[in-house]
């Protein structure tokens, strides 16, 4: 206080000296403004003290009327600016300390997630004090939280809506008390259940059961496969889809496509989406679903959509397992993301017709509850296998490798418990068979490769006579090549010899020269069988792959 009083006394003396130094009355206001600005900026006075200094300044300098009003307004504006700056500085200091000292929190997706310090996380169906259904969050560590209260314990959820989950809180309580499952026993239980109602190839049973198990831990993986069940009516396709709808994680069965519901279900519940009669999609709804499918196999996949009356853009989570069923084939891009199985009519093999009743519902619920416990118990170990790349499928593309790795990680755990390689062997057998089908389809539908093979066949004509350029090189007229290829329906997309020439140059960069074909001057390309075979080898393709 004594220091502050000395400062005020000093200022009062300065004001007296300032008044004595003023010789030009016209500059009095300007001098007063400069002085009060210096005091406000540098002296560290309170607002009350600044008011007293201002009064003293006005009194000693004899500033009156409009000039006094101007000086007061000027001083007030300076104080306001200084206060605003001070408030911002205090805020920045406080928020920085808060950000550095805050308790660490985990942001989790409450339907299904995995965090190193929490383990596997699931939404669990329970009840509140009034008996109303409520979703809780359960972890591999045996901890249970209310979604709304989880933040208090360092867990921030991406949303707080209730989740459509089949995981019952009584099962979680049993897990806390020590209940566990053996993965190989659970696998066999699902295998036997499916085999009772459906007929597929032996190796595909292994794929199917592993896929069901994967849906309960899919968040461990960066990329997951879709399932594509293809087949005519009466081949058992619909029964497979029904059973998958019963056994997979948080399933949503869609026979009538409603994109809005599907987007929300994934974004809220992390659901396994099951699309039956996929070929019946059309129009804008189809476009929306295709957008979802093109992104939703990757953990980082999101799809922006307009929502609400103001059409605000919201990014919807799209990552989740997807199972599609249909009669016709799907496009190549989507096919690359799928594990496909084609159902066929089976004679002389009896299966039980699947019917929903209390017995089957109880059996299914027991399996589903065990699948949740499987996730809680095995997720950490499976993630280590995946992260350490202990298994790896080598297909024809990197995308193909990524799609099979989740199932192979599960297979490794199952085989370790069984002391065999039977699950891995069956999955790899099917993977290689499907890889061959995808490769053949890729070759069949890739114009760049088909044209190369067309040029190879063109060279194989018995009476083909190449022209000789001025440099003595063998060359072929683009018009002759065009006329030959147009005899084959697969090359109807080539509209002219000039369009063909552009593609040959763009795709293969063959040497091109102008020369004479008879008396006509034409564009000619220099290539032979060895050059074509080299181009195919660059694509990891052999000429025999076309046969």
DSSP 254-311: ESS--HHHHHHHHHHH-PEEEESSGGG--HHHHHHHHHHHHHTTBTT-EEEEEETTTT
Domain finish residue from 176, 201, 223: 176
**pLDDT of 294-317, one tens digit each?**
889 999 988 887 776 676 777 888
**Closest to 423 (Cα-Cα) out of 413, 438, 434, 433:** 413
At 468 the pLDDT is 75
Whether residues 73 and 188 fall in one domain:
no
Q: Is 144 found in the same domain as 37?
A: no
Query: Do both 17 and 143 map to the same domain?
Result: no
DSSP symbol at 325: E
DSSP state of 26: G
Per-residue confidence at 501, pLDDT binned at 50, 70, 90? very high
511: CATH: 1.10.10
What average pLDDT does the segment 331-336 reach? 79
Please check whether residue 285 is in contact with residue 292, taking contact to mean a CB–CB distance below 8 angstroms. no
Which SS3 state, helix, strand or coil, does residue 354 take?
coil
Specify the pLDDT at position 33: 86
Residues 427 and 492 in one domain: no
Q: Which residue range forms the structural domain that includes residue 295? A: 183-442
**pLDDT at residue 398 is higher than 60:** no
Angle 207-288-329 from CA coordinates, rounded to 5°: 45
pLDDT at 120: 97
As a whole number, the mean pLDDT across the chain is: 87
Band of pLDDT at residue 329, cut at 50, 70 and 90: confident
Residues 270 and 299 in one domain: yes
Half-sphere exposure of 448 (CA within 13 A, CB side): 11
Q: Do residues 278 and 364 share a domain?
A: yes
Q: Is the pLDDT score of 30 beyond 90?
A: no
Judgement on whether residues 364 and 459 belong to the same structural domain of the protein: no
CATH of the domain at 287: 3.40.50.300
Instruction: Indicate whether 505 and 364 sit together in one domain.
Output: no
Q: Which one of 388, 407, 442 terminates a domain? A: 442
| Listed range (254-258, 344-348, 370-374) with the worst mean pLDDT | 254-258
pLDDT at 232 over 90: no
Q: Which of 460, 446, 466 is nearest to 536 (CA)?
A: 446
- Residue 26 is predicted with a pLDDT of 67
Among 411, 442, 473, the domain boundary falls at 442
Whether residue 426 is found in the same domain as residue 278: yes
CB atoms near residue 23 (< 10 Å): 6
| Stretch 65-79: mean pLDDT | 87
Confidence at residue 183, expressed as pLDDT on a 0 to 100 scale: 97
| Bigger pLDDT: 545 vs 470 | 545
Q: Report residue 1's pLDDT band, with 50, 70 and 90 as the boundaries.
A: very low
One domain, residues 154 and 221: no
Question: How many domains in the chain?
Answer: 4
Q: Render pLDDT for 241-278 as a digit per residue (tens, 0 to 9).
A: 999 999 999 999 987 667 888 888 999 999 999 988 77
Among 23-32, 415-424, 508-517, top mean pLDDT goes to: 415-424
- Give residue 456's pLDDT band: very low, low, confident or very high (50, 70, 90): very high
> Which candidate, 189, 194, 197, 144, places its Cα nearest to that of 170?
144
Q: Across residues 226-238, what is the average pLDDT?
A: 90
The pLDDT of residue 3 is above 60: no
Mean pLDDT of 50-75: 85
Q: What pLDDT sits at residue 72?
A: 87
Say yes or no: 196 and 329 in one domain: yes
Do residues 34 and 21 lie in contact, with contact meaning Cβ atoms separated by under 8 Å?
no
Residues 295 and 438 in one domain: yes
Strand ranges of the sheet holding 467-468, from the earlier edge strand across to the other edge: 467-468, 474-477, 520-526, 511-517
For residue range 462-495, list pLDDT tens digits in order. 888 888 776 778 888 898 999 999 999 889 999 9
Give per-residue pLDDT as tens, 87-144.
988 888 888 877 776 656 668 999 999 999 899 999 999 887 777 888 999 999 999 9
Angle formed at CA 392 by CA 247 and CA 382, multiple of 5 degrees: 50
pLDDT of residue 98: 75
Instruction: Give the pLDDT mean for 362-377.
Output: 97
């Amino acid at each position: 206080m004594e220091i502050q009083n000395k400062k005020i006394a000093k200022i009062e003396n300065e004001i007296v000296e300032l008044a004595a130094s003023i010789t030009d009355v016209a500059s009095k206001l300007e001098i007063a403004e400069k002085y009060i600005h210096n005091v406000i900026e540098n002296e560290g006075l309170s607002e009350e003290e600044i008011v007293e200094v201002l009064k003293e300044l006005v009194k000693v300098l004899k500033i009156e009327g409009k000039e006094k009003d101007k000086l007061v307004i000027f001083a007030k504006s300076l104080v306001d600016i200084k206060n605003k700056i001070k408030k911002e500085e205090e805020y920045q200091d406080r928020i920085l300390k808060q950000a550095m000292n805050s308790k660490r929190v985990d942001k989790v997706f409450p339907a299904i997630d995995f965090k190193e310090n929490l383990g596997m996380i699931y939404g669990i169906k329970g009840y509140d004090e009034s008996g109303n259904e409520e979703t809780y969050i359960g972890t591999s560590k045996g901890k249970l939280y209310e979604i709304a209260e989880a933040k208090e314990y360092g867990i921030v959820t991406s949303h707080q809506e209730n989740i459509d989950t089949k995981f019952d809180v009584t099962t979680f309580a049993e897990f806390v008390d020590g209940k566990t499952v053996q993965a190989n026993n659970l696998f066999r239980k699902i295998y036997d259940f499916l085999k009772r109602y459906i007929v597929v190839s032996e190796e595909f049973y292994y794929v199917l059961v592993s896929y069901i198990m994967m849906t309960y831990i899919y968040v461990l993986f960066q990329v997951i496969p879709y399932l594509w069940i293809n087949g005519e009516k009466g081949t058992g396709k619909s029964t497979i889809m029904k059973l998958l709808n019963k056994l997979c994680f948080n399933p949503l069965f869609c026979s009538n496509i409603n994109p809005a519901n599907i987007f929300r279900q994934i974004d809220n519940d992390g659901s396994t989406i099951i699309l039956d009669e996929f070929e019946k999609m059309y129009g804008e709804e189809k476009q929306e679903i295709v957008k979802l499918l093109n992104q939703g196999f990757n953990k980082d996949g999101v799809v922006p959509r307009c929502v609400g009356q103001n059409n605000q853009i919201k990014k919807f989570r799209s990552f989740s397992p997807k199972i599609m069923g249909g009669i016709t084939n799907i496009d190549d891009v989507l096919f690359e993301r799928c594990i496909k199985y084609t159902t066929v009519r089976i004679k002389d093999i009896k299966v039980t017709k699947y019917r929903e009743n209390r017995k089957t519902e109880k059996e299914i619920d027991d399996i589903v509850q065990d699948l949740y416990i499987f996730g809680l118990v095995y997720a950490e170990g499976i993630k280590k296998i995946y992260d350490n790349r202990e298994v790896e499928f080598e297909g024809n593309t990197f995308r193909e490798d990524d799609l099979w790795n989740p199932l192979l990680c599960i297979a490794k755990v199952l085989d370790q418990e069984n002391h065999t390689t039977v699950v891995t062997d069956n999955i790899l057998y099917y993977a290689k068979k499907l890889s061959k089908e995808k490769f053949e389809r890729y070759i069949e539908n890739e114009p760049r490769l088909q044209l190369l093979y067309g040029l190879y066949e063109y060279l194989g004509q018995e009476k083909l006579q190449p022209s000789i350029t001025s440099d003595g090189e063998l060359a072929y007229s683009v018009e002759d090549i065009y006329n030959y290829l147009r005899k084959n329906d697969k090359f109807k997309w080539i509209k002219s010899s000039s369009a063909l020439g552009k593609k040959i140059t763009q795709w293969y960069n063959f040497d091109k020269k102008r020369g004479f074909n008879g008396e006509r001057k034409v564009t000619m390309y220099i290539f032979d069988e060895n050059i074509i075979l080299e181009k195919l080898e660059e694509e990891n393709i052999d000429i025999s792959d076309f046969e």
